[in-house]
Chains A and B, each alone.
Chain A
Amino acid sequence: MPLTRRDFLKLSSGAFILPLSLPKNLFADYLKIPVLMYHDISNEFDDEYTISPPLFAAQMEWLYSNGYKTIFFNEVDKFIKPGDDRAAIITFDDGYASFGSYTFPLLKEYGFKATINAIGKHIGSYIKLARNRPLLSWDEYRHFIKSGLVELGCHTYDLHIYKSGLGILGFTQKEIEDDFRLFQDVAKKETGHDTKILAWPYGLYDKKTMNIAQRAGFKYILTSNEGYLQKDSDLLKIPRRNINNRHDLVSFQQYLRGGV
Chain B
Amino acid sequence: MNFEELGFLALNNNDNQEAINIFRRALEKKKSADGFIGLGIAHYNLEDYQTARWAFYKALEMEPDNKEILIHISNVEKIKKQSPLPQKQSLFRAAKDYLEILSDGKWSKFFVKGMNIGLGIPGYFPGEYPIKKGTYLKWFEQMADIGINALRNYTVHPPSFYEALYQFNQSGKKLYLFQGIWVELPEGNNFYEPTFNRYVQENIKNAVDVIYGNASLPEKPGYAHGTYEYDISSNTIGFIFGREWESCAVKNFNELRTREIKDFKGEFLSIHEGTPFEIWIVKICDFLQSYEYEKYKTSHALSAANWPTLDPLYHPSESRYEEELLLQGLSAKTDICNENEDMESLDVAKIRAEKGGGFFATYHAYPYYPDFMNNDYLDKENTFLAYLKELKNHHGNQPVLVAEFGVPSCREVAHWHRDGWHHGGHNELRQGEINGLLMKTIYKAGMAGGILFSLYDEWFKKNWLFIDYYIPADRKAFWFNIQDAEENYGLLAMYPGYPQKKVSLTGKKEEWKESRVLYEKKDGSTVFKFNDGFDKTREFKRLLVQHDEGFIYILIEINEKINFTEANYLIGLDTCRPQIGEFLLPFNTKLISPIGLKFLIHLAGKEKSRILVCHSYDKYLNWPKEIKPVISKQGCWVMMKNEANKRRVSKDGKKYFPSRVFSMSRLQFGSLNRNSPHYNSLADFFFTDNIIELRIPWGLINFTDPSSKMVLWRDKNDKAIKSDGIKIIAVSYKPVKNQLQAENTGLVSNITDSFPQTLSQNNIATYSWNDWVTPIYHTYLKESYYKYKEYLSQIPEVA
- Indicate whether A26 reaches chain B with its CB closer than 8 angstroms: no
A139 with B330: in contact, given A58-B615, A62-B635, A97-B647 (CB under 8 Å)? no
Contact B329 A58 (CB under 8 A): no
* Residues in A whose Cβ lies below 8 Å from that of B647: 97, 100-101, 134, 140
* Residues in A whose Cβ lies below 8 Å from that of B639: 57, 61, 106, 109
Contact A66 B741 (CB under 8 A): yes
Contact B329 A125 (CB under 8 A): yes
Contact A248 B741 (CB under 8 A): no
Residue in A54, A101, A140 whose CB lies within 8 Å of B661: A101
Q: How far is the CB of B663 from chain A (nearest CB, A)?
A: 6
A105 with B739: in contact, given A65-B586, A126-B329 (CB under 8 Å)? no
Bound-state Cα–Cα, A132 to B325, Å: 11
Contact B638 A100 (CB under 8 A): no
Contact B330 A134 (CB under 8 A): yes
* Residues in A whose Cβ lies below 8 Å from that of B618: 54, 57
* Residues in A whose Cβ lies below 8 Å from that of B657: 139
Contact A66 B588 (CB under 8 A): yes
Within 8 A of B (CB), among A53-75: 53-55, 57-58, 61-62, 64-67
The B interface, classified by DSSP as helix, strand, loop or mixed, is: loop
Q: How many A residues touch B, CB cutoff 8 Å? A: 39
- Indicate whether A137 reaches chain B with its CB closer than 8 angstroms: yes
A43 with B656: in contact, given A100-B647, A126-B329 (CB under 8 Å)? no
- Indicate whether A250 reaches chain B with its CB closer than 8 angstroms: yes
* Residues in B whose Cβ lies below 8 Å from that of A66: 588, 741
Residue in A57, A97, A137, A250 whose CB lies within 8 Å of B634: A250
Within 8 A of B (CB), among A98-128: 100-102, 104-106, 109, 124-128
* Residues in A whose Cβ lies below 8 Å from that of B649: 137
Q: How far is the CB of B169 from chain A (nearest CB, A)?
A: 51
Contact A43 B622 (CB under 8 A): yes
Residue in A53, A248, A250 whose CB lies within 8 Å of B621: A53
- Indicate whether A133 reaches chain B with its CB closer than 8 angstroms: yes
* Residues in B whose Cβ lies below 8 Å from that of A124: 656
Residue in A54, A101, A134, A139 whose CB lies within 8 Å of B616: A54
Q: How far is the CB of A249 from chain B (nearest CB, A)?
A: 4
Contact B588 A249 (CB under 8 A): no
Contact B329 A132 (CB under 8 A): yes
Contact A126 B636 (CB under 8 A): no
Contact with A along B86-106 (1 / 0, CB 8 A): 000000000000000000000
A105 with B656: in contact, given A54-B621, A132-B330, A249-B634 (CB under 8 Å)? no
Residue in A61, A102, A105, A106 whose CB lies within 8 Å of B637: A61
Residue in B616, B624, B638, B741 whose CB lies within 8 Å of A61: B638
Contact A57 B638 (CB under 8 A): yes
Q: How far is the CB of A4 from chain B (nearest CB, A)?
A: 16
Residue of A nearest to B663 (CB): A109
Contact A143 B658 (CB under 8 A): yes
* Residues in A whose Cβ lies below 8 Å from that of B622: 43, 53-54
Bound-state Cα–Cα, A58 to B636, Å: 5
Within 8 A of A (CB), among B571-587: 586-587
* Residues in B whose Cβ lies below 8 Å from that of A61: 586, 612, 637-639
Contact A58 B656 (CB under 8 A): no
Residue of A nearest to B666 (CB): A109
Bound-state Cα–Cα, A137 to B623, Å: 24
Residue in B625, B643, B741 whose CB lies within 8 Å of A65: B741
A43 with B328: in contact, given A54-B636, A97-B647 (CB under 8 Å)? no
Bound-state Cα–Cα, A66 to B735, Å: 11
| Among B646, B647, B740, residue most surrounded by chain A Cβ atoms (within 10 Å) | B647
- Indicate whether B641 reaches chain A with its CB closer than 8 angstroms: yes
Q: How many B residues touch A, CB cutoff 8 Å? A: 39
A139 with B658: in contact, given A65-B740, A67-B739, A249-B636 (CB under 8 Å)? yes
- Indicate whether B761 reaches chain A with its CB closer than 8 angstroms: no
* Residues in B whose Cβ lies below 8 Å from that of A134: 328-330, 647
Residue in A65, A125, A139 whose CB lies within 8 Å of B587: A65
Residue in A62, A136, A140 whose CB lies within 8 Å of B586: A62
Residue of A nearest to B638 (CB): A57
Bound-state Cα–Cα, A29 to B176, Å: 78
* Residues in B whose Cβ lies below 8 Å from that of A106: 639
A101 with B659: in contact, given A61-B637, A67-B740 (CB under 8 Å)? yes
Q: How far is the CB of A250 from chain B (nearest CB, A)?
A: 5
Q: How far is the CB of A112 from chain B (nearest CB, A)?
A: 12
Within 8 A of B (CB), among A176-228: none
* Residues in A whose Cβ lies below 8 Å from that of B661: 101, 104-105
* Residues in B whose Cβ lies below 8 Å from that of A58: 615, 634-638
Contact B638 A248 (CB under 8 A): no
Bound-state Cα–Cα, A128 to B330, Å: 10
Contact B615 A55 (CB under 8 A): yes
Within 8 A of A (CB), among B584-623: 586-588, 612, 615-616, 618, 620-623
Within 8 A of A (CB), among B647-664: 647, 649, 655-659, 661-663
* Residues in A whose Cβ lies below 8 Å from that of B624: 43
Within 8 A of B (CB), among A66-90: 66-67
Q: How far is the CB of A153 from chain B (nearest CB, A)?
A: 19
Bound-state Cα–Cα, A101 to B588, Å: 29
* Residues in A whose Cβ lies below 8 Å from that of B615: 54-55, 57-58
Residue of B nearest to A105 (CB): B661
Residue of B nearest to A138 (CB): B656
Residue of A nearest to B660 (CB): A105
* Residues in A whose Cβ lies below 8 Å from that of B635: 58, 62, 249
Bound-state Cα–Cα, A137 to B659, Å: 12
Q: How far is the CB of A145 from chain B (nearest CB, A)?
A: 12
Residue of A nearest to B620 (CB): A53
Bound-state Cα–Cα, A189 to B323, Å: 28
Contact with A along B547-589 (1 / 0, CB 8 A): 0000000000000000000000000000000000000001110
Q: How far is the CB of B653 from chain A (nearest CB, A)?
A: 8
Bound-state Cα–Cα, A100 to B645, Å: 11
Bound-state Cα–Cα, A109 to B664, Å: 11
Bound-state Cα–Cα, A248 to B631, Å: 13
Contact B587 A140 (CB under 8 A): no
* Residues in B whose Cβ lies below 8 Å from that of A143: 658
Q: How far is the CB of A66 from chain B (nearest CB, A)?
A: 6
* Residues in B whose Cβ lies below 8 Å from that of A65: 586-587, 637, 740-741
Contact with B along A33-68 (1 / 0, CB 8 A): 000000000010000000011110110011011110
Residue of B nearest to A249 (CB): B634
Residue of A nearest to B587 (CB): A65
Q: List 16 A-B contacts (CB under 8 A).
A: A52-B621, A57-B639, A58-B634, A61-B637, A67-B740, A67-B741, A97-B328, A97-B647, A104-B661, A105-B662, A125-B328, A126-B328, A127-B329, A132-B329, A134-B329, A134-B647
CB-CB nearest 7 A-B residue pairs: A126-B329, A132-B329, A137-B656, A134-B328, A105-B661, A54-B615, A57-B638
Given contacts A43-B622, A67-B739, A105-B641, 12 further A-B contacts (CB under 8 A): A43-B623, A43-B624, A57-B639, A61-B586, A65-B637, A65-B740, A67-B740, A67-B741, A97-B328, A104-B661, A105-B662, A143-B658
Chain B contacts to A: CB under 8 angstroms: 328-330, 586-588, 612, 615-616, 618, 620-625, 634-639, 641, 643, 646-647, 649, 655-659, 661-663, 736, 739-741
Chain A contacts to B: CB under 8 angstroms: 43, 52-55, 57-58, 61-62, 64-67, 97, 100-102, 104-106, 109, 124-128, 132-134, 136-140, 143-144, 248-250
